A and B are shown apart, each in its own frame.
Chain A
Amino acid sequence: MAFITVKNLRKVYKLGKEKVYALKQIDLEIKRGEICCILGTSGSGKSTLLNMLAGLEKPTRGDIFINGVNIAQLSESKLARFRQENTGFIFQSYNLIGQFNALENVGMPLMFKGYPKAKRDKLAAKMLKLVGLGKRLRHRPNQMSGGQQQRVGIARAFVAKPKVVFADEPTGNLDTKTTDEVMRLMVRMCRKYNITLIIVTHDLEIAAYADRIVHIIDGEITSIEENTSIYSPEEDEENTSISEVKST
């Protein structure tokens, strides 16, 4: 069985009397460790699909199995536990907590898991070094550039070693050069820890980093194409962090 199985999924929003089909009929399987890109234009329903995969929204119909658990059936508190143990999340607008420094932001998922401060600071520092921010542990989000902030976001998503990481337009607010760096970073992390990555985007250049590209139009999957990622970490030196990026 695939790591993620989506069956018969439908999401209907009611706007007054009118029914809006955000997702009409989705069936999808994603393997463990796969980098999957959900590609679609604005309003295609790609974000809705991601939200449901992450358990942030309940489907109108259908099932979503992740690692054998039907998350469409989980209660709010069980979903919280499921997210804590299995998922990471990367946002378009980074969504870091402004009053926390980089170390604390990255340590947050560990804090929710109940790790003591010393332990999570250690893990978070290691993660930040890995994303190239080893010298900015005590910086607050507003003291960092967009690219740096997103790398903190990536460190936060990967720090708890989740089984799957969801990324919603992760490079939407970044320039081309930084986009490339951030994408490489995400791919490298996934490969390193064998983590499934699901990226939602409208950008074909982003899709080029994926193993598989799912095209979605008007709430339906139109095609799924196998792809060879344009970036393979083996090309770089093994396990080296990318160099400190000067603020952009």
Chain B
Amino acid sequence: MKIYDMISICFRNLWRRKGRTMLTVIGVVIGSCAVIVMISLGLGMSQAMDNMLASWGDLTSVTIYGGSRGGMFDEGSSSSKTTEKPRLDDSALEIFKAMEDVEDIVPKMELSSEMVVTTSGRNDRYLLSYTTIVGIDFTQFDKLGYEAEQGILPDENNKKDSIVFGLEVPYSFTDTKKHGEAAYARKTELPDGTVTPPFIDPIADDFKIAIVNTKKTNEDGSHPVGGKGYEYTLHGTSVLKQDTMWETPYSMFIDIELAKDIMEAYNKLNNVKNAKAPEYTQVKLLCKDINSVDAVQKAVTDLGYNATSMAQVRQQMQGELGVIQLVLGGLAAISLLVAAISITNTMIMSIYERTKEIGIMKVLGCYIGNIRLMFLMEAGMIGLLGGIIGTVISYGISIIMNSFAGSAFSEALGIYTEGDAGQVSIIPLWLVLLALVFSTIIGLISGYYPANRAVKISALEAIRNE
């Protein structure tokens, strides 16, 4: 029997029972719609998550935290209590540089706010308080992802005597000549849209960083500054834009070489014995690609450092997302299962009705294989039809969700993205193909049992039926 004839008979039989066929197809449509939409939501969530992570930081970097400071996603360092932690100093940087998959290194060195006093204006009128001073390599702004809101970022030529402010830092300068409320600069928006200026001009003024001498104590309990030789005059160059990780707004940045100098000068002034080489507070290793991140992180951890990476965070989040997707998919699968059962039911009904026909075909010499194939085709066709219609409808649902419920949905699902809400539901081509193949297979599986029943119908019984 020719395949063409079987297909033709299969379509005729489906057409003969239009109503029933359509009802069964609708079942599959609902099932496949549910599956496609659920998976597309999962894909949308996954993409939103990647966008979010990318906005937080580079997915290809490993961050090492030095000293006692733990990272944001530190997994806890209970073991480090017993074993001495390796120092995160220049010699450590050499080791990291030598690693195969590490392309670049971005170190940071934080100075404790008790170590120095930062002032500006005549007679040190404006005093900076409660601000972390961070040493970074002023040639690495692009790698850090820092951009200027005002002014021009320093470069190789002026890095030694430049200073860069986080967005909120200029307002942290207080006026020592005033008292009470008037001593503090307030950042408030004026009716014309501008904001009140701080006391100092962060991109024009000069600033003085003076090292504190802890050996002496003032009457009020504070320590005096070291004086000549322990002071650095720097020129304000720029203010950084708000970054997504909120690393910069409350920090002031100087070049990392200067930070080391200050650290050494502090040790000298305060007679710190056995001073070791200055330690970095944080070192970011930029890896070749996202796949090498794991290896680098492991190598660094094996050396005894605390290291985290976005890749690790991503893995965790993907794990959680996977569970959500599984639950959604499971719910959708139930409706597809119901559809599958209804296909089986329809096919069994259809075989009952056609018992005689099947018998006649057998008596006339139709191969049982052909009979089985005809019924499998019918069931598969119901599945495929349902899949096709389901895909079309899913596209519609997807478009509606993306255009109307974009941000609301992503908020409900707990995913926040910067600016553009992104697509809630994504239906890639592979999902369409998968849905079609899957629904056809569902049809075939559902048709398998009825088809075998058809094959087992005795030709004699069938034609005896009057």
Q: Which stretch, B68-76, B169-177, B353-361, touches the partner chain A?
A: B353-361
**Is the C-beta of B5 less than 8 angstroms from some C-beta in chain A?**
yes
Task: Provide the bound-state CA to CA distance between A57 and B461, in Å.
Answer: 10
Q: Which stretch, B223-231, B364-372, B429-437, touches the partner chain A?
A: B364-372
Beyond A54-B363, A109-B365, A116-B2, is A93–B370 a contact (Cβ under 8 Å)? no
A57 x B460 contact (CB < 8 A): yes
**Is the C-beta of A76 less than 8 angstroms from some C-beta in chain B?**
yes
A91 x B463 contact (CB < 8 A): yes
B1 x A114 contact (CB < 8 A): yes
Instruction: Enumerate chain A residues within 8 angstroms of B367, measured Cβ to Cβ.
Output: 77, 80-81, 84, 112
Q: Which of A84, A97, A112 is most buried by chain B, counting CB atoms within 10 A of its CB?
A: A112
Identify which of residues 7-43 in chain A touch chain B, using a CB-to-CB cut-off of 8 Å: none
**Is the C-beta of A87 less than 8 angstroms from some C-beta in chain B?**
yes
In the complex, residue of chain A having the shortest beta-carbon distance to the beta carbon of B459 = A56
A77 x B368 contact (CB < 8 A): yes
Instruction: Enumerate chain A residues within 8 angstroms of B16, measured Cβ to Cβ.
Output: 99
Identify which of residues 66-105 in chain A touch chain B, using a CB-to-CB cut-off of 8 Å: 76-77, 80-85, 87, 89, 91, 93, 95, 97, 99
A-B contact count, CB below 8 Å? 62
Beyond A93-B466, A95-B356, A114-B2, is A56–B364 a contact (Cβ under 8 Å)? no
In the complex, residue of chain B having the shortest beta-carbon distance to the beta carbon of A156 = B364
Identify which of residues 323-370 in chain B touch chain A, using a CB-to-CB cut-off of 8 Å: 356-357, 360-370
Task: Provide the bound-state CA to CA distance between A87 and B459, in Å.
Answer: 15
**Is the C-beta of A139 less than 8 angstroms from some C-beta in chain B?**
no
A112 x B460 contact (CB < 8 A): no
**Is the C-beta of A192 less than 8 angstroms from some C-beta in chain B?**
no
Task: Provide the bound-state CA to CA distance between A95 and B356, in Å.
Answer: 8
**Is the C-beta of B186 less than 8 angstroms from some C-beta in chain A?**
no
Which single member of B12, B364, B459 contacts A109 (CB below 8 Å)?
Answer: B364
The SS class assigned to the B binding surface is: helix
Q: Contact size class for B?
A: 20 to 34
B460 x A56 contact (CB < 8 A): yes
Task: Provide the bound-state CA to CA distance between A83 and B366, in Å.
Answer: 9
**Is the C-beta of A108 less than 8 angstroms from some C-beta in chain B?**
yes
Beyond A91-B463, A93-B466, is A112–B366 a contact (Cβ under 8 Å)? yes
**Is the C-beta of A130 less than 8 angstroms from some C-beta in chain B?**
no
Task: Provide the bound-state CA to CA distance between A238 and B368, in Å.
Answer: 40
Which single member of A76, A111, A114, A117 contacts B368 (CB below 8 Å)?
Answer: A76
In the complex, residue of chain B having the shortest beta-carbon distance to the beta carbon of A108 = B364
Question: Could you tell me the distance in whole angstroms from the C-beta of B184 to the nearest C-beta in chain A?
Answer: 92
In the complex, residue of chain B having the shortest beta-carbon distance to the beta carbon of A94 = B360
Question: Could you tell me the distance in whole angstroms from the C-beta of B460 to the nearest C-beta in chain A?
Answer: 5
A56 x B368 contact (CB < 8 A): no
Question: Could you tell me the distance in whole angstroms from the C-beta of B306 to the nearest C-beta in chain A?
Answer: 71
Instruction: Enumerate chain A residues within 8 angstroms of B356, measured Cβ to Cβ.
Output: 95
Identify which of residues 1-23 in chain B touch chain A, using a CB-to-CB cut-off of 8 Å: 1-2, 4-5, 12-13, 16
Which single member of A76, A83, A99 contacts B12 (CB below 8 Å)?
Answer: A99
In the complex, residue of chain A having the shortest beta-carbon distance to the beta carbon of B4 = A117
A48-60 vs B: 1/0 string, CB under 8 Å?
0001001011000
A80 x B5 contact (CB < 8 A): no
Q: Which of B1, B5, B364, B463 is most buried by chain A, counting CB atoms within 10 A of its CB?
A: B364
Q: Which of B357, B360, B362 is most buried by chain A, counting CB atoms within 10 A of its CB?
A: B360
A100-129 vs B: 1/0 string, CB under 8 Å?
000000001101111011000000000000
In the complex, residue of chain B having the shortest beta-carbon distance to the beta carbon of A95 = B360
Which single member of A57, A99, A108 contacts B361 (CB below 8 Å)?
Answer: A108
A117 x B360 contact (CB < 8 A): no
Task: Provide the bound-state CA to CA distance between A89 and B363, in Å.
Answer: 7
A112 x B12 contact (CB < 8 A): no
Task: Provide the bound-state CA to CA distance between A77 and B366, in Å.
Answer: 9
Which single member of A56, A81, A82, A99 contacts B363 (CB below 8 Å)?
Answer: A56
Identify which of residues 187-238 in chain A touch chain B, using a CB-to-CB cut-off of 8 Å: none
B370 x A83 contact (CB < 8 A): no
B365 x A80 contact (CB < 8 A): yes
Instruction: Enumerate chain B residues within 8 angstroms of A95, measured Cβ to Cβ.
Output: 356, 360, 363, 463
Instruction: Enumerate chain B residues within 8 angstroms of A108, measured Cβ to Cβ.
Output: 361, 364
Which single member of A57, A80, A89 contacts B366 (CB below 8 Å)?
Answer: A80
Beyond A51-B460, A97-B360, is A77–B2 a contact (Cβ under 8 Å)? no
Task: Provide the bound-state CA to CA distance between A57 and B4, in Å.
Answer: 31
Task: Provide the bound-state CA to CA distance between A212 and B433, in Å.
Answer: 65
Question: Could you tell me the distance in whole angstroms from the C-beta of A192 to the nearest C-beta in chain B?
Answer: 21
Instruction: Enumerate chain A residues within 8 angstroms of B5, measured Cβ to Cβ.
Output: 111, 117
Identify which of residues 438-466 in chain B touch chain A, using a CB-to-CB cut-off of 8 Å: 459-460, 463, 466
Instruction: Enumerate chain B residues within 8 angstroms of A156, measured Cβ to Cβ.
Output: 364
Question: Could you tell me the distance in whole angstroms from the C-beta of A156 to the nearest C-beta in chain B?
Answer: 7
Q: Which of A56, A77, A81, A114 is most buried by chain B, counting CB atoms within 10 A of its CB?
A: A56
Task: Provide the bound-state CA to CA distance between A99 and B8, in Å.
Answer: 13
Instruction: Enumerate chain B residues within 8 angstroms of A54, measured Cβ to Cβ.
Output: 363
A128-160 vs B: 1/0 string, CB under 8 Å?
000000000000000000000000000010000
Other A-B contacts than A57-B460, A83-B363, 5 sampled, CB-CB below 8 A, are: A80-B366, A81-B365, A95-B356, A111-B2, A112-B1
17 A-B pairs with C-beta separation under 8 A: A56-B459, A77-B368, A77-B369, A80-B366, A80-B368, A83-B364, A84-B365, A87-B365, A93-B466, A97-B360, A108-B364, A112-B366, A113-B365, A114-B1, A114-B2, A117-B5, A156-B364
